[in-house]
């Protein structure tokens, strides 16, 4: 039996208790931990073309396959291990996204070395403070912003995959670089 869902107004509804918990406990909360930033980057890339709820249901599988998102271990995954992951039904088995996680891990490590942490690089785009969205409804929210486009271009230039501006905007929302809880959501902050 599914967990009961309360009637709190949420940015993307209350499709399931899993989705509601994600919204209430994670979405839009500022993340500075590189492991979690890497996890969300890989999950948002996996999300492209699919529902977020599908990704959330497979999150434990991703954690197992990608060594709890230990970026060094993912960067060191061999071709045989990636081929095995492509056969694993606990994740989304996409022929480019699975090896793309290793590629992104390698770029992530270079960025950590260059900036001290990936978090330092990411949060420097907003001077360490989340940008507060001003959307009245979810439908008013754009799919892409100039910030997402800028970050996407930089990540692509560095060699990352599955980091287009739409994916990156969703990522920025997920890790709290952008706080887009719209007015009417129980988690929305008062706007000036």
Which sequence positions are flagged as catalytic?
A: 22, 44, 52
Please tell me what DSSP assigns to residue 129.
S
Contact 112, 34 (CB under 8 A): yes
Residues 6 or more apart whose Cβ sits within 8 Å of residue 73: 66, 67
DSSP of 49-64, one letter per residue? TS-HHHHHHTHHHHHH
Q: Beta partners for 183?
A: 185
Contact 157, 9 (CB under 8 A): no
């Amino acid at each position: 039996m599914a967990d009961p869902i309360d009637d709190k107004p949420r940015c993307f509804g209350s499709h399931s208790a899993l989705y509601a918990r994600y919204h209430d406990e994670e979405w839009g909360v500022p993340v500075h931990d590189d492991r979690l930033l890497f996890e969300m980057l890989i999950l948002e890339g996996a999300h492209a073309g699919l529902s977020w709820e599908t990704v959330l249901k497979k999150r434990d599988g991703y954690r197992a396959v990608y060594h709890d998102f230990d970026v060094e271990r993912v960067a060191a995954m061999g071709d045989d291990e990636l081929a095995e992951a492509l056969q694993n039904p606990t994740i989304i088995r996409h022929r480019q996204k699975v090896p793309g996680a290793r590629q992104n891990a390698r770029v992530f490590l270079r960025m950590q070395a260059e900036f001290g942490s990936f978090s330092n690089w990411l949060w420097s785009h907003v001077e360490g403070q989340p940008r507060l969205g001003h959307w009245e409804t979810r439908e008013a929210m754009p799919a892409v912003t100039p910030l997402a486009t800028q970050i996407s271009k930089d990540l692509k230039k560095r060699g990352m995959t599955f980091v287009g501006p739409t994916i990156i905007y969703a990522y920025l929302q997920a890790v709290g670089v952008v706080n887009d809880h719209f007015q009417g959501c129980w988690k929305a902050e008062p706007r000036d």
